[in-house]
Amino acid sequence: MVSAAPVRLADYSPWPFALPAIHLAVDIRPGDVLVTSRLDLEPRGGAEALQLRGVDLEICSIKLNGDDVAGDDYSYRDQLLTIHSPPSKPFVLETCCRIDPYNNSSLEGLYVSGGLLSTQCEAEGFRRITFHPDRPDVLSRWTVRIEASRASCPVLLSNGNAISEEELTDGRHAVTWKDPFPKPSYLFALVAGELREIRDLYTTASGRAVTLRLHVEEGDEPYSTHAMESLKRSMAWDEQVYQLEYDLDEYNIVAVRHFNMGAMENKSLNIFNSKLVLADAETATDAELERIESVIAHEYFHNWSGNRITCRDWFQLSLKEGLTVFRDQSFTADLHSAAVKRIEDVAMLRNTQFREDAGPTAHPVKPAEYQAIDNFYTTTIYEKGAELIRMLHTLLGQERFMRGMATYVSRFDGTAATTEDFVQSIVDGAAQDGQPLGFDSERFKRWYHQAGTPELTVQRQWDAVKGELTLELRQSTPPTPGQTEKQPLVLPIAVALVGEKGRIGEEQLLVMDGDQASLTLQGDPGSAAPALSLLRRFSAPVNVQLEQSLQESLQLLAHDDDPFSRWDAGQRLARQVLLARASGEPDATVEAALIQALRQRLNAFDGGGGQDLAVLLALPGTAELEALQNPVDPPALYAARREWIAELGRQLADPLNQLLDVCRGEWPQAWPAGQGGRSLTGLAWSWLAAAGDAEARNQALEAVSGPSMTLARAALRALQPMEVDERDLALDRFYQRWQDKPVILDAWFALEASAPRTDGLQRVQALLEHPRFDPLAPNSLRAVLGGFTANVPVFHAIDGSGYRFMADQIAAVDRRNPITASRMAKVFSRWSSYGVDRQSAMRQAIDQLAAGELSSNTAEVVAMLRT
């Protein structure tokens, strides 16, 4: 294993040239593609040589100001083209290169996906297309001419507006695109091939007409309506909330099957994983419909937070991603349930980002160095980055925060900025009213540079005579790789008191920016101590150490008016139950109390608001439980979860069957209506089926053939963990129905791979050889291998066979798609937390990976795992 030299933030310096304009000519031919680029370059002084990046490029010609560059005047080695003595005045460099997208399995640069030529240039893919500095702080205005056979490539797309179309000889044609807004190379996009177009029109707030075009493969047109409507809702929301209007005459979205990411925000030409575009109620679940709406919005919102204002360097990645995640979360919250959205986001954060923060791949939101930037497209950059924006919003309030956003946009539009630029803009805009800021902005910036999840320890004392609850708070952040000394962070902590009749007094916001802080809350004199509702709305991304009694948790679950805190109380009780069962010592008192609380909730439900109840009843994620167990025993946690679900089904059979009767009327309602009832139906089937309820199993089996994908997939999830005939029948019916739809069939692959069977490893191997499995599609790989790693009894087999198998698969994937492989390698990130036997077996699998020839992407991850 050979690691690349690290790139360091401290070494940043501006590129010594300006590149105001680029003219690109792309000549698509059956066996290769010729790319001619004309770069208008302006020396900024002091550069002895011009260096451009280029990977797997065959040079056809190099011209400087129209003259051929002699062989002695340039060199091309180690993916670097060097012009040794460039002019000291503005000049034009023209290169012509031959590339082979038809055999490019990396899914970076220009490649073929199902016969369609497509690009992925973020983060460093453009260097696989032509020579360029390929860094985000070099912004240019682009003109792109694409030429191809009309028969094979009737659709030719790039960024900006189409300014001309040409009919050429020999059945060829060309389209020229011009993007009037400066952008870096990572936002370049090109799509060429045979696609069907769905067209619509959007009129902006200022009255400009924008043509919206969604491009899909033949036969997929009926599944495009949801994506188009989501786009229009996104455009309207950004105008209404942020006063940001779309700036071009057209907006294009293309769906492709082979794509490493979910989607890409290339200026005016978004390229999407087809899974995140093609959907209706019959082919996608409610959660997938909302996810599609959210991702469509996310990529559209990037038009301003990422495109018009981009990153100075890749260390600033969260500048665009954290901010845009916050924006898309707010969009979903405004359109649907803000409470449910916040709970879902916190659950995801705790189960993914907190886990990352606690492992060997922990890194700050703004890393100090990297070897392969693709490895830093992580939940820390995205979701934790969004929490930083949310804290600024909490600290400042909506009005002041939006003034800061307006300052940021006006100050940095058309430039490449940094996270410091962003925070300073928010602070400057918020301070325009002359009010004190209310927190130390320099201390707040520590969040960007310090890895790890802070721990907030809370002690309290109740004065019954005065009715005062005094809190003593301490914060600390555990050591993380490369960072042992931690400084205190700015923590906005929302708190309130809750009595037996609800909240007492007003909520308070404590701004904690030191190691310690104290706060006194006023309750009712002469009464018993009230419950403490702490970290309401999850006001800061921290772990809380606070002793809370069973009675206090039940009181919060019953009476807290903050939906997050109410849910969190239920999660705390469920964690106690599951961890106790996993240890072999069930806590009968807590179990009985929780079942009674859930029974009351179920009996009180009479329809409507089902999503709130569904998230309240959901069990904690496995990663949350693993973080509280030492050593971690995945099979014991898995067994505890299955046992507890069965117990819930037995104890709550009557209210669950009543729940099914209430929810049945919501099944046929069109999304977003009815999703609460459908979610509760899936939960009831899961609990009842686990308890042996034959009627629930039959209902689930029938739903697999029904008109709702939400109910079909919920039914499969309910049946999948059990060795029963209904499971095999359900999986077979689903396969027979959807075998010709790869986007949907991936769900079947994942369910099959994660089914806990005695011959699970052999079945996963068979899935990888299945005629419908596409080894070049990241979706398919994630479905099978991701499903396998979720198959606890098989992946975590005590003999280490699951770990060794996964290491083999990662190595094989790495040879053709390093980005996908490096992300899969993180499945081993918690190896040191397991018991001795599993720890040893997983470490052997990591060493097995390290001994092979790995890409720089995967080598960096494996090296972090071994430290």
Question: Can you tell me whether residue 549 is helix, strand or coil?
Answer: coil
- In order of 8, 712, 861, the CA distances from 372 in angstroms are 11, 40, 9
Question: Alpha-carbon distance 147 to 168, whole Å?
Answer: 9
Per DSSP, which regions of 447-600 are E strands?
455-463, 468-476, 491-499, 502-512, 516-522, 531-534, 543-545
The CB density around residue 603, as the number of other CB atoms within 10 Å, is 13
DSSP 635: H
Residue 287 burial class via C-beta count within 10 angstroms: exposed 0-12, middle 13-18, buried 19 and up: middle
- Beta bridge partner(s), residue 1: none
Q: Is residue 435 within 8 Å of residue 521, measured between CB atoms?
A: no
Question: Alpha-carbon distance 60 to 96, whole Å?
Answer: 5
Question: Can you tell me whether residue 652 is helix, strand or coil?
Answer: coil
Residue labelled with tokens 């199993």: 697
Residue labelled with tokens 């690691």: 3
Run of H or E including 22: strand 17-28
Alpha helices (H) in 190-316, listed in sequence order? 225-242, 286-301
The question of whether 299 is a catalytic residue gets the answer yes
SS3 sequence of 453-476? CCEEEEEEEEECCCCEEEEEEEEE
Phi/psi for 562 (5° steps) reads: -95, 115
Residue labelled with tokens 């697999």: 704
Q: Is residue 867 within 8 Å of residue 481, measured between CB atoms?
A: yes
The CB density around residue 698, as the number of other CB atoms within 10 Å, is 12
Query: In this structure, what token pair is assigned to residue 771?
Result: 């005629």
The one-letter code for the residue type at 865 is L
Query: In this structure, what token pair is assigned to residue 778?
Result: 């990241």
- In order of 73, 221, 721, 750, the CA distances from 282 in angstroms are 62, 14, 24, 19
Q: Which position among 290, 299, 624, 726 bears the catalytic label?
A: 299
Question: Can you tell me whether residue 144 is helix, strand or coil?
Answer: strand
The CB density around residue 225, as the number of other CB atoms within 10 Å, is 14
The DSSP code sequence of 148-202 is EETTT--EEEESSEEEEEEE-STTEEEEEEEEEEEE-GGG--EEEE--EEEEEEE
Active site residues: 299
